[in-house]
Structure 1
């Protein structure tokens, strides 16, 4: 049994809504604004940075100094990753169901059982560095998923069908990135993610 974040997306392959697929970038705007409100922007004269909506630093500090993973941070990170995945699935035309703010039956993100005492308390200091090869491979997968999504979008708009081979690649890429986030940022596991989709 894997100790990684598991992602499952039930893709509708046939009888897709061509109209909503065609206007997907416009329809995604309200929920995109909502999720971006969790990513505070910090503007300085010397530095402009965008911080993700996850709680990373408090988790790392809790694990390093107290060897604890606060349940409220785990619950928030779990809910935020699930919402992000639902938005990704809708944006990438995997589903026609508009992303709900609550859990749904189409997209499922399952965290492993987190035992903070079993986590290496010093690994959060270097996980970001150890994950560099994962990021590089992930960028290649993201480019691959981008082209699959373009092809699938054209297919859905013209025929109302989503090719199964495209779905496997795009869902695999989302699951791959969720495993990386679980390892390097959310620190729910010390198990190094595999490079496979």
Structure 2
């Protein structure tokens, strides 16, 4: 029997993820510009330092608002999503992905023209009890997995006086990005497989951030959704 409304049936079969992360790879990346983008982004780092202080303070205020009313104040929600969006654009440009040469805008608002963006759907109601545990207890499995992805890289060692000693560990994601950029330097191409994997790690981390900072009640999936666009989910 055919559904009365195929579009509605498709929507039910493939619901939209409430946290959506986009990162479109620039097809004409410069071979060398990645060497200086971290420096060019310094003005963003300064602004984001203060924005993240505000993000933390507003999250604490939202904690009590949700605890007593079951609602995340809309103005606070939109501001914090804007901070996440701004951070993701800077990470995409200069830090975690380096997938575009287009300078990030100084803006909290969505921008369909910029290669990186994110959206978090506003929840009309949130569970008052979950606010007490989801940001630490319930999110611990995700913290452990993301920590493994971040720290499961390569340990640097130094030899001194007949003794080998560790001097630091390079995160896995940093190693992957570095390999990709070396490929870009010599071939003018960002290896697509590495790109999709790196964006997938970032997408996972952003979903967990939205959950842990009380924006949504839906538990983040244990899934590495790779690629530039948010995949549809069953």
CA–CA separation in structure 2 for the residues paired with 1:63 and 1:87: 30
Q: Is 1:10 aligned to residue 24 of structure 2?
A: yes
Contact 1:38 1:52 in 2 (8 A): yes
For residue 99 of structure 2, what is the aligned residue in structure 1? 94
3-state SS in 2 of match to 1:63: helix
Contact 1:89 1:95 in 2 (8 A): yes
Contact 1:4 1:193 in 2 (8 A): no
For residue 133 of structure 2, what is the aligned residue in structure 1? 126
3-state SS in 1 of match to 2:28: coil
Contact 1:148 1:166 in 2 (8 A): yes
CA–CA separation in structure 2 for the residues paired with 1:30 and 1:153: 23
Shift of 1:112: 2.1
CA–CA separation in structure 2 for the residues paired with 1:57 and 1:121: 14
* RMSD (CA atoms): 1.9
For residue 46 of structure 1, what is the aligned residue in structure 2? none
Contact 2:55 2:80 in 1 (8 A): no
For residue 179 of structure 2, what is the aligned residue in structure 1? 151
Shift of 1:52: 5.7
Shift of 1:165: 0.6
Normalising to structure 1: TM-score of the pair?
A: 0.85
Q: Which runs of 5+ in 2 are unaligned?
A: 1-14, 151-170, 225-234
Q: Is 1:178 aligned to residue 220 of structure 2?
A: no
Q: Which runs of 5+ in 1 are unaligned?
A: 41-50
Displacement over 6 Å in runs of 4+: none
Normalising to structure 2: TM-score of the pair?
A: 0.72
Change (3 A) 1:112 1:54: farther
3-state SS in 2 of match to 1:109: strand
